[in-house]
Structure formats: C-alpha cells, structure tokens
C-alpha cells in the first residue's frame, strides 16, 4: 500500500521545473506580455482602432493592466496548486507588465483626455471619483515597480514583503475603479468576472493568514 501511494509523489517531484527551466521560459513570457501592445499597433495600421481610437486605447490598456495584475496575484496560488515553486520566477515580470500597461493607460488619459494640463488632471481627479480611485491604485503600484529589484529587496529586508502585500489593496482599488466606470453604463458583466477573480485571490491569501494568527493567539493564551 505504502509503495503504491509513494510512486505518484515521486513522479510529481520529477515533473517539477527547476528555477533554470522556469527562467528559460521567460523570453516567451516577455513576448506574450507584449501581445496587447503589438495588437494595438496592428489594429492602428489596419484602421481597426474603432471610430474613437483614444477611447479604445484608454479602455483597452485599463483592461490589460487589470488582467496582468490578476495574473501576477495568481502566481502564488498556482505554484502551490501545481506544485511548481519555480513559477515564482515569473512573478516580477508579470507585475512589471501590469505596471507597464497601467502607465500606458494613465499616459493615454493624461495625453488624450487632459492634454497634458496639470490643472485639468487635478480637476478630473477631484471631480470624478473613479479617477481618484485609479490614482489611489497607481501611486502604490509605482512604488512596488520601483522596489521590485533584488537591490531593494535586500535593502528593505522584511519590510519588502510587507510593502509588496500592497498588491492586494491595489487590485481591490482597481476593481472598484472599473466598477465605478461601468456603474455609469449599467454594464457590470466584466467587472463581476474580475471582481470574482480578485476576491478569490484575496481570500486565498487572507484565510490561511487569519487561521495562523488565530492559532498563534490560542497558543499564546494557553
Ligand atoms: C491615474 C490613475 C488612473 C486614471 C486617471 C484612469 C483613467 C481611466 C479612464 C479615463 C477610463 C475610461 C473611462 C470611460 O471610458 O468611461 C478608465 C477605464 C478603465 N481603467 Fe483606469 N485609470 C487609472 C488607473 C487604473 C488602474 C490602476 C487600473 C487597473 C490596473 C485601471 C483599469 C481600468 C479599466 C479596467 C477601465 C475600464 C475599461 C472599460 O470600460 O472597458 N485604471 N480609466
């Protein structure tokens, strides 16, 4: 009985990717990450950016930024579920793509909607709550992108992990931003999909942490 149950475990262990193998897939991941930008260029060259290209690009970059953010958050659960610890090597690149598409999204808003006018940007932030929520997500996101290097990891020590846990509230703010936009149009279908994904990823992170804290408290009390 024992030998039979040990066999699949050994097979699973043999199928694990080494960090080097996961690293070798990174150029492919990089090319995949460029797909949305390549698609916009292709659509631009073929009159495919709809009748209102700025609006299309602002919306499309927002959706791709949120999708990349969800993928970044999914790395930890996936590496556990698939028993592939080496998947962690993809997380930084995915996170940087999320920031890249967010930066393009904000740039497109600043350029096409606000004409690079600081006064007009400020007025928009004050007048439209969804813009304010977007800014609240972007500011910490920039800090995470900036501190994503190995040098910052070493410099910040344990604080690095605490800082990078901000990715969860950032994702929640991003879904809120999306929800506020779609509330005006009464069109929530995609918001529910992203909301459910972010909620599941948040719960995956929060529930074991709460359990650990509770059992530590119970241990301390006894
Ligand atoms: C400075 C921060 C931000 C600004 C100024 C901003 C601005 C905008 C604007 C003007 C729109 C178009 C609204 C419309 O078409 O009615 C939009 C849509 C959107 N934004 Fe943002 N945004 C910001 C941050 C973010 C962030 C951090 C994310 C996610 C990572 C995000 C994701 C989206 C999504 C998913 C949409 C909706 C696209 C759609 O309706 O199909 N935005 N944003």
Residue 58 alpha carbon to ligand 1 centre in Å = 7
Q: Is 152 exposed, middle or buried (0-12, 13-18, 19+ CB in 10 A)?
A: middle
Backbone angles phi, psi at 116, to 5 degrees: 60, 20
Structure confidence by residue, pLDDT tens digits, 175-206: 999 999 999 999 999 999 999 999 999 999 99
What value does the CA radius of gyration of the chain take, rounded to a whole number of Å? 21
Structure confidence by residue, pLDDT tens digits, 129-170: 999 999 999 999 999 999 999 999 999 999 999 999 999 999
Range of the domain at 147: 2-215
The pick from 94, 109, 177 for probing ligand 1's pocket by mutation, whose C-beta has the most ligand atoms within 8 angstroms, reads: 177
CB of residue 69 inside a 6 A radius of ligand 1: yes
Q: Flag whether 22 is in a domain.
A: yes
What is the model's pTM? Answer: 0.92
CB of residue 167 inside a 6 A radius of ligand 1: no
Confidence of residue 209 (pLDDT cuts 50, 70, 90): confident
Give the rounded distance of the alpha carbon of 155 from its chain centre: 24
Q: Flag whether 36 is in a domain.
A: yes
- Ligand 1 atom 21: residue of nearest CA: 62
Give the rounded distance of the alpha carbon of 217 from its chain centre: 32
CB of residue 135 inside a 6 A radius of ligand 1: yes
Q: Flag whether 147 is in a domain.
A: yes
Question: The CATH number of the domain where 136 resides is what?
Answer: 1.20.120
CB of residue 102 inside a 6 A radius of ligand 1: yes
- With contact defined as beta carbons under 8 Å apart, do 160 and 152 qualify? yes
The mean per-residue pLDDT over the stretch 60-83 comes to 97
Number of domains comprising the chain? 1
Q: Flag whether 175 is in a domain.
A: yes
Q: Flag whether 95 is in a domain.
A: yes
Alpha carbon distance 24, 21 (integer Å): 5
pLDDT recorded at residue 15? 85
Confidence of residue 25 (pLDDT cuts 50, 70, 90): very high
Q: Flag whether 146 is in a domain.
A: yes
Q: Flag whether 34 is in a domain.
A: yes
What's the first-to-final CA gap in the chain, in angstroms? 39
* Token duo for residue 17: 């990717």
């Amino acid at each position: 009985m024992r030998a039979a149950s040990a066999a699949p475990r050994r097979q699973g262990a043999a199928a694990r990717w080494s960090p080097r193998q996961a690293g070798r897939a990174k150029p492919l991941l990089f090319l995949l990450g460029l797909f949305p930008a390549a698609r916009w260029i292709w659509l631009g060259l073929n009159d495919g950016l709809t009748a209102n290209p700025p609006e299309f690009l602002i919306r499309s970059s927002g959706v791709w930024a949120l999708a990349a953010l969800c993928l970044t958050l999914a790395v930890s659960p996936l590496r556990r579920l698939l028993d592939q610890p080496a998947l962690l090597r993809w997380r930084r690149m995915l996170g940087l793509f999320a920031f890249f598409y967010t930066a393009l999204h904000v740039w497109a808003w600043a350029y096409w909607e606000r004409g690079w006018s600081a006064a007009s940007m400020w007025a928009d932030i004050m007048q439209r709550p969804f813009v304010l929520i977007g800014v609240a997500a972007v500011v910490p996101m920039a800090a995470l992108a900036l501190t994503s290097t190995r040098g910052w990891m070493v410099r910040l020590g344990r604080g690095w992990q605490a800082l990078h846990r901000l990715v969860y509230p950032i994702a929640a703010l991003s879904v809120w931003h999306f929800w506020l936009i779609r509330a005006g149009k009464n069109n929530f279908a995609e918001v529910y999909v992203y909301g459910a994904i972010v909620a599941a990823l948040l719960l995956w992170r929060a529930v074991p942490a709460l359990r650990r804290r509770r059992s530590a408290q119970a241990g301390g009390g006894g």
